[in-house]
A and B are shown apart, each in its own frame.
Chain A
Amino acid sequence: MSFAITRQGEVVVVDVEGQLIVGNRQELKQKVLDELEKGAKQFLIDFSQTGYIDSSGLGVLVSLSKKIREQGGELRLANLNDDLQTLFELTKLDTLFQISDTRERALESF
């Protein structure tokens, strides 16, 4: 379980390598906040390698989305599998995030 951070132009892309759960959510939060502090505004989190997210992981995404928006930025998500899509629908978080089915579409949407 780890997070790889790369840049695609102005966009900070975070690849979640494994599940996003209570044991690693703080690591994701800190990595994104560090980039935000350095001045990044556009963030994409790619879940193509993620099987599931627990409630604390969903909570961190909500918290990051708020903090990024407060700084005038945007957080978008990509590559949710069917299970993740269902989780976002059950919690109605699909209404809070802009979700793309591919990384390329997400990058184009900024």
Chain B
Amino acid sequence: MGEKSVALDVEIPSDVKYIEKVIELAALRCRELHVPARKCSLNVRVALAEALSNAILRGNATGDGKRVRVRATVSDDEVVFDVFDDGPGFDLAAPRADPTTPENRLKEEGRGLYLMGRLMDRVERFTSEGNVVRLTLRRK
């Protein structure tokens, strides 16, 4: 894999009202990096929206004075989005109900991690300067 560079590094207050602006910025950078338009408009926007709302509503929870950071690094092959929050994190490997089965389709919740997994090539979680969810998307 070639050299990596930082394509985006922004920090926002832990409030859902800031999500849309960050997503539009990320989608714009994505287009500037010549990632296919569909990946920028759908995969990046929706998966990042899920990661950000998880970070704000579940990670930081009450959120007083907390912040969320989004950093995107790019290499020849991939764009990697790291979403940092101050929460305890969660177990990505924990079994979850499939939201697409007929019995789960009528539920209001439970599609966020599923969509991240379907729209990104890799979804990982680790601890480094807080809780980090890493979304990796191949550029081609």
Contacts and interface: CB of A to CB of B under 8 A. Distances in A.
B108 A62 contact: yes
A33 interface: no
Give the interface residue-count category, chain A: 20 to 34
A105 B114 CA distance: 32
Interface stretch (B2-10, B16-24, B60-68, B87-95): B16-24
A62 B106 contact: yes
Interface residues of B, number: 27
A55 B125 CA distance: 19
Nearest to A58: B111
Contact of A90 (B19, B57, B115): B115
A41 B99 CA distance: 27
A59 B100 CA distance: 12
Given A23-B19, A52-B45, A55-B110, 18 more contacts: A19-B20, A21-B53, A22-B16, A51-B41, A51-B45, A52-B46, A54-B115, A59-B107, A59-B109, A62-B105, A62-B106, A63-B108, A82-B38, A83-B38, A86-B42, A87-B42, A91-B100, A91-B105
Given A21-B20, A90-B115, A92-B100, A60 B49 contact: no
B50 interface: yes
Main secondary structure of the interface of B (DSSP, over half): helix
Contact of B42 (A52, A56, A58, A62): A52
Nearest to A87: B46
B122 interface: no
Contacts of B19: 21-23
Given A54-B50, A60-B108, A91-B115, A1 B20 contact: yes
Contacts of A56: 53, 112
Nearest to A23: B16
B34 interface: no
A54 B49 contact: yes
Interface in B72-122: 99-100, 105-112, 114-115, 118-119
Nearest to A96: B105
A22 B57 contact: yes
Nearest to B44: A52
A95 B105 contact: yes
